[in-house]
Amino acid sequence: MGAAEDAGASAFIADLAEQGIEARVDGPAVVYGIEAVAGARVGTAVGTAVSINELGGWPALPPHWVHFPEEVRFESTNTDNVDCLPGWLRHSRDIGAWSMDRPPALNWLAHVRGLVSGAIG
């Protein structure tokens, strides 16, 4: 892991902490949990993560891949297990236009909560 990834991961963890989300480095990923606010998993805690190597540009550039445990499934998705913890998959998800007009962690969490609302089963 390079200096940019280290700095990005530290900034990502700090930004999530400012929003009340506890995150930690676990192997190749930064892992944290959110509560599902809609969809099949509403009201449940859902583990999620991002690859440390995608955080080198944080907060100006958000990660593209979002990691979830294998049991979190989506009807349509592109997955692999690169940089994932055992039993996890990463899902290719474009966040679209990335705005810095509010704390980046709020934008990221809204993105992930939106993804989780589309989980099935």
pLDDT tens for each residue of 57-93? 999 999 999 999 999 999 999 999 999 999 999 999 9
Give the mean pLDDT of the chain: 95
Give backbone dihedrals phi and psi of 19, rounded to 5 degrees, phi first: -100, 10
Q: 11-21: string of b/e by CB count within 10 Å (b at 16+)?
A: ebbebbeeeeb
Instruction: Output the six-digit token pair for 8.
Output: 């990005």
Indicate if the pLDDT at residue 2 is higher than 80.
no
C-alpha–C-alpha distance, residues 75 and 36, integer Å = 17
Give the count of domains, the chain. Answer: 1
- The range of the structural domain enclosing residue 23 comes to 3-120
Start-end of H helices in 1-121: 3-18, 104-117
CA angle 5, 52, 92 (to 5 degrees): 125
In this predicted structure, the answer to whether residue 106 has a pLDDT above a threshold of 80 is yes
Give the global pTM. 0.94
| % of residues, the chain, pLDDT over 70 | 98
